[in-house]
Amino acid sequence: MATHDPVSHDDVRTSETRPADGRPVAKPANPRFSSGPCAKPPTFDLAALADAPLGRSHRAAEGKAKLLAAIERTREILGVPAEYRIGIVPASDTGAFEMAMWSMLGARPAEMVAWESFGAGWVTDVAKQLKIEHRVHTADYGEIVDMAALNYDNDVCFTWNGTTSGVRVPSGDVIPADRAGLTLCDATSAAFAVDLPWDKLDVTTYSWQKVLGGEAAHGMLILSPRAVERLESYTPPWPLPKIFRLNKGGKLIEGIFTGATINTPSMLCVEDYLLALDWAESVGGLKGLIARADANTTAVSAFVEAHDWIDFLARDPATRSNTSVCLKFTDARITDGAAFAKAIAKRLADEGVALDIGAYRDAPPGLRIWCGATVETADIEAMLPWLAWAFDTEIST
């Protein structure tokens, strides 16, 4: 079967009964399991972007309407309360999160929380760049920080889903609703895969290229009324570049939250995001997206349970991500874990059955299989027998 042919469930079952050389029969219709940019929605077609107002000003009525639609449809699907602001900002999730840190931190001490690479990056920002009073809470890859042990009178910066370890916050219940500090949440790999508790989040950021399979470059910044209050009552002691400025004359620039972006966005990316939102709606909105990610993760879990040479990096099942699923090899015969994992990822890529599934460069050796909503469960199911084949082949060479 050709790499991009659709795979039926019957094909998948056939692939479990391997031919003589051990190779599965079926291949995933789409071998893209990268953790970002992630697979486009299954119905994606470049021709569907033809309505993008290319070559037009983003400040013309048509462009502004598209940007406002992107904001309002995001609100609808994610269930963001009406009193929260949603803005499209430059430089993807990094831009959105750093803009929030640079604009709001320093009014109180910060609690910096990290259990993998991206959270660690935000710790570095605070410790080495902003140099404000802070406490650092870290856990090793595979573990999570006790979110109940933080001081929520301080500002708390954390990542909901650590993309490089596959560990996510199990629930926001421990965050007090009556906290004095702000919570700043990097939700890049969680938005559209988790029902985020908006009353517990003051600043939430994500990028388009993750769970919805959009294009990179634009960040989403979601602000609670308390975050806006901070912006309007506090001026940080450091200079802010124009690209980070959310205030003018001590007032929030409201236009940013109705589609008047700080600088020029790509209207092609906006059109692509609108298309992804259409698709999200067509699969049942947030509930449907979560169900798709959960089904993908369940398929991987069943595989892990059935094979004693592989395990989740996330130790506690309650903290296992349903998007960035990180796995480690546990077979005692493996002497060089990094080389082994790399060789498996290469075999799978060479066969055209799984692209870009090597662990993140800073993470422990292993595999990272994106299970977000744009990935079809049939593709995960078709890919996993190939993982077993690659393991068997590699371990015996």
Minimum CB separation of residue 389 from ligand PLP in Å reads 29
Interface stretch with ligand PLP, choices 61-69, 91-99, 266-274, 333-341 (CB under 6 A): 91-99
Choose the binding region for ligand PLP from 101-109, 124-132, 182-190, 325-333 (rule: CB under 6 A).
Answer: 182-190
Residue 125 Cβ vs ligand PLP, minimum distance, rounded to whole Å: 12
Q: Which two tokens stand for residue 253?
A: 């620039």
Regarding 207 and contact with ligand PLP (CB under 6 A), the answer is yes
CB 219 to ligand PLP: min, Å:
7
Question: Using the rule CB under 6 A, is 356 a contact of ligand PLP?
Answer: no
Taking contact as CB under 6 A, which single stretch among the options 76-84, 146-154, 183-191, 253-261 is the one that binds ligand PLP? 183-191
94 binds ligand PLP (CB under 6 A): yes
Number of helices and strands (H, E) in the chain?
9, 14
Q: Judged by CB under 6 A, which of 34, 188, 319, 322 binds ligand PLP?
A: 188
CA distance 62 to 68: 10
> 3-class SS at 85?
strand
User: How many residues line the site for ligand PLP (CB under 6 A)?
Assistant: 12
CB of residue 284 to ligand PLP, shortest distance in Å: 25
d(CA 393, CA 397): 6
Among 15, 74, 159, 319, which residue sits at the site for ligand PLP (rule: CB under 6 A)? 159
Give me the least distance between CB of 216 and ligand PLP, in Å please: 6
Question: Nearest approach, Cβ of 206 to ligand PLP (angstroms)?
Answer: 8
Q: Verify binding: residue 186, ligand PLP, rule CB under 6 A.
A: yes
Span of 87-95, 149-157, 221-229, 243-251 interacting with ligand PLP by CB under 6 A: 87-95
- Considering only residues 34 to 73 of the shown chain, the ones binding ligand PLP according to CB under 6 A are 36
Using rule CB under 6 A, residue 33 touches ligand PLP: no
Q: How many C-beta atoms lie closer than 10 Å to residue 9's C-beta?
A: 12
Q: What is the rounded distance in angstroms from the CA atom of residue 185 to the CA atom of residue 203?
A: 6
Cα dihedral: 63, 64, 68, 71 (round 10) = 70
> Would you count residue 92 as binding ligand PLP (CB under 6 A)?
yes
Sole window of 77-85, 184-192, 254-262, 282-290 interacting with ligand PLP (rule: CB under 6 A)? 184-192
204 binds ligand PLP (CB under 6 A): no
Q: Is 189 in the site for ligand PLP (CB under 6 A)?
A: yes
CA 218 to CA 215: how far, in whole Å?
A: 8
The answer to the question of residue 322 lying near ligand PLP (CB under 6 A) is no
Q: Are 191 and 216 in contact (CB under 8 A)?
A: no
Instruction: Let me know: does 114 contact 136? Beta carbons within 8 Å.
Output: yes
Q: How far is the CB of 88 from ligand PLP (least distance, A)?
A: 13
Ranges assigned E (strand) in 139-292: 155-159, 161-162, 167-168, 183-186, 203-207, 218-223, 247-248, 251-252
What is the SS3 assignment for 184? strand
**Rounded CA gap, 146 and 149, in Å?**
6
Task: Decide: is 215 part of the binding site for ligand PLP (CB under 6 A).
Answer: no
Nearer to ligand PLP, 86 or 384 (CB): 86
| Token pair listed for 243 | 């690209």
What is the Cα–Cα distance from 386 to 346, expressed in whole angstroms? 12
Beta bridge partners of 191: 194
Report which secondary-structure segment, H or E, holds 72.
Answer: helix 61-78
Neighbours of 136 (CB within 10 A): 14
What's the min distance (Å) between Cβ of 35 and ligand PLP? 6
Which one of 80, 89, 93, 125 is in contact with ligand PLP (CB under 6 A)?
93
First to last CA, the chain: 27
Nearest distance in Å: CB 269, ligand PLP? 12
At 262, list the tokens: 């700080």
> Which residue, among 301, 323, 299, 327, has the nearest Cα to 372 in the 3D structure?
323
Query: Shortest approach of ligand PLP to residue 218 CB, angstroms?
Result: 9
Q: Is 118 in the site for ligand PLP (CB under 6 A)?
A: yes
In angstroms, the CA 147 to CA 225 distance is 23
Rounded distance between C-alpha atoms, residue 156 and residue 303, angstroms: 36
Beta carbon of residue 205, minimum distance to ligand PLP (angstroms, whole number): 8
The site for ligand PLP (CB under 6 A) is made up of 36, 92-94, 118, 159, 163, 186, 188-189, 207, 216
